[in-house]
Amino acid sequence: MSALKYVNSHMDDLISDLQTLIRQPSVSAKNEGIEECSMLVQKILKRTGIKSEILRLGKEVAPIVYGEIRSKQNPSRTLMFYNHYDVQPAEPFELWDSHPFSGTRKGNKIFGRGASDDKGELITRIKAVEAYLKTAKDVPCNIKFVIEGEEEIGSAHIEEYLKKYKQKFSCDGVIWEFGYVDAKNRPIIGLGMKGLLFVELSVKESVRDAHSSLAVLIKNPAWRLIEAVKTLRSSDGRILIKDWYKEVTPLSKNDLKIIHDEPFDEQVFKKEFGIKSFVGDKKALDAKKALVGDPTCNIAGFVSGYTGEGAKTVLPGEALVKIDFRLVPKMDPKRQVSRLRNHLKSKGFSDVKIKVFHGEAAARTASSHPFVAQVKDAADRVFGRSILNVSNAGTGPMHPFVKVLGAPCISIGSTYMFSRIHSPNEFARVDLLKKTTKCMCMIMHNFGTNQ
């Protein structure tokens, strides 16, 4: 295929464009460089030959970069690439070996915030389209790009965008913004994503911090919060909130077969993170089932009193804990919040304040959908072998795409599973960028030639 040969001979261009994107900071959490990066992405799309425009909801909302190119040979089929141009904060800067926005290349790796998540993935999609335009002067099917700037802060406005531009965004299938590649260089084809409920619990006891000798008289809000949080979850990970699992549907036989067949190197995983055992002492199969189908209750941060070096005998005036709950299909974030409130009240913790930051429902595409076979065939041809995954353990705004557009969503991409996304020294592997770009070419081919 001429498009694949084009990818081989133009990797320097791909690397250069990725480095250019990395060098433009776009930290949505701090509203740093968002506008500038959206314009840069639009410029790259236009230079590639993709008609593009900036879509907006308002001045306070990050714009979406929209791209579209219609197929002459098959205008009846439309494939969407959903990606994002925003990145996580790069802190702590001192833990980076090179500047986080330098796009430094060292051998087979390109380092920088967003190198994998998600600028590297975005570039593979753009370059796959370019390969067809340069070699065939056409694409195998209609292509649309929806590239948002708020994914790393919860995609708060993506559903509003989807509803407002439903006609413009209409498509027959969505390739999601990322996809992992395992330790043996096999792409993991994700058919879904867990949902998320992110909350903050807080207790305020006194108007200011006090000397710790007064702990015999003044209640410590940190102890109060610890006692409340302890009621949420058992030591083996089971969530103790009444009816938390009420709507959850058990994994199907086909799901269980896919999970059973999915490789998972327990020892490599433990070695990478420096751990000795899993929660509840799970073994390989149970660990795989948990990643796909178990809700979670995770303490993301706990702050109270003095946390600096040395000793300070202080009794804090307030304490707060940030908690993220991962949700599975049929769990409604709003309903789960209500259950959390009722739980704390029933346990005698009405004084614990709850602040909800974000809620996102889970989504899955059935493994029997024809789109799945088309993507897997493309991945198998390029990578040699691919692995089906019923659901990714992480969260993204997949649910509104399925709900509003009615299109199946599948994640596949170039992100090496240990590429340190969201951490210092995030990197993308050049060899995987090349293979993923070719894979996108094959997916477009399969999608355009199979109804």
Q: Look up residue 346 and give its two tokens.
A: 């029933």
What is the DSSP pairing of strand 180-181 with strand 109-111? Answer: unpaired
Rounded Cα distance between 345 and 339, Å, is 10
| Measured CA angle at 131 (ends 128, 133), to 5 deg | 110
Q: Look up residue 253 and give its two tokens.
A: 């036989």
Beta strands of 305-350 (E only): which ranges? 314-315, 318-327
Rounded Cα distance between 85 and 125, Å, is 13
Q: Look up residue 48 and give its two tokens.
A: 């590639």
Q: What is the pLDDT of residue 1?
A: 82
Q: What is the pLDDT of residue 345?
A: 98
What pLDDT digit, counting tens, does each position of 292-317 carry? 999 999 999 999 999 999 999 999 99
Rounded Cα distance between 377 and 216, Å, is 68
Task: Return the CATH architecture of domain 194-248+295-360.
Answer: 2-Layer Sandwich (3.30)
Q: Which of 207, 390, 175 has its CA nearest to residue 293?
A: 390
CB of 105 within 8 A of CB of 19? yes
Counting Cβ atoms within 10 Å, is residue 196 exposed (0-12), middle (13-18) or buried (19+)? buried
What is the DSSP pairing of strand 427-429 with strand 363-364? Answer: unpaired
What pLDDT digit, counting tens, does each position of 253-280 carry? 989 999 999 888 899 889 989 999 999 9
CB-based contacts of 286, cutoff 8 Å, min separation 6: 280
Task: Report the 10 Å Cβ neighbour count for 443.
Answer: 28
Counting Cβ atoms within 10 Å, is residue 227 exposed (0-12), middle (13-18) or buried (19+)? middle
Q: Which of 140, 144, 203 has its CA nearest to residue 344?
A: 203
Q: What is the pLDDT along the chain (451 residues), one digit of tens a residue?
A: 899 999 999 999 999 999 999 999 999 999 999 999 999 999 999 999 999 999 999 889 999 999 999 999 999 999 999 999 999 999 999 999 999 999 999 999 999 999 999 999 999 999 999 999 999 999 999 999 999 999 999 898 999 999 999 999 999 999 999 999 998 999 999 999 999 999 999 999 999 999 999 999 999 999 999 999 999 999 999 999 999 999 999 998 989 999 999 888 899 889 989 999 999 999 989 999 999 999 999 999 999 999 999 999 999 999 999 999 999 999 999 999 999 999 999 999 999 999 999 898 999 999 989 999 999 999 999 999 999 999 989 888 999 999 999 999 999 999 999 999 999 999 999 999 999 999 999 999 999 997 6
Domains of the chain by residue range: 2-191+365-449, 194-248+295-360
What is the CATH superfamily name and number for domain 2-191+365-449?
Zn peptidases (3.40.630.10)
Cα within 13 Å of Cα(88), Cβ side = 17
Rounded Cα distance between 268 and 262, Å, is 15
Domains 2-191+365-449 and 194-248+295-360 are alike in CATH topology? no
What is the DSSP pairing of strand 51-55 with strand 109-111? Answer: unpaired
CB of 54 within 8 A of CB of 156? no
Task: Report the 10 Å Cβ neighbour count for 176.
Answer: 25
What pTM was estimated for this model as a whole?
0.85
What is the DSSP pairing of strand 142-148 with strand 64-69? Answer: antiparallel
Rounded Cα distance between 443 and 146, Å, is 18
Task: Report the 10 Å Cβ neighbour count for 149.
Answer: 26
Rounded Cα distance between 442 and 125, Å, is 11
CB of 391 within 8 A of CB of 194? yes
Q: What is the pLDDT of residue 450?
A: 79
Q: What is the pLDDT of residue 451?
A: 61
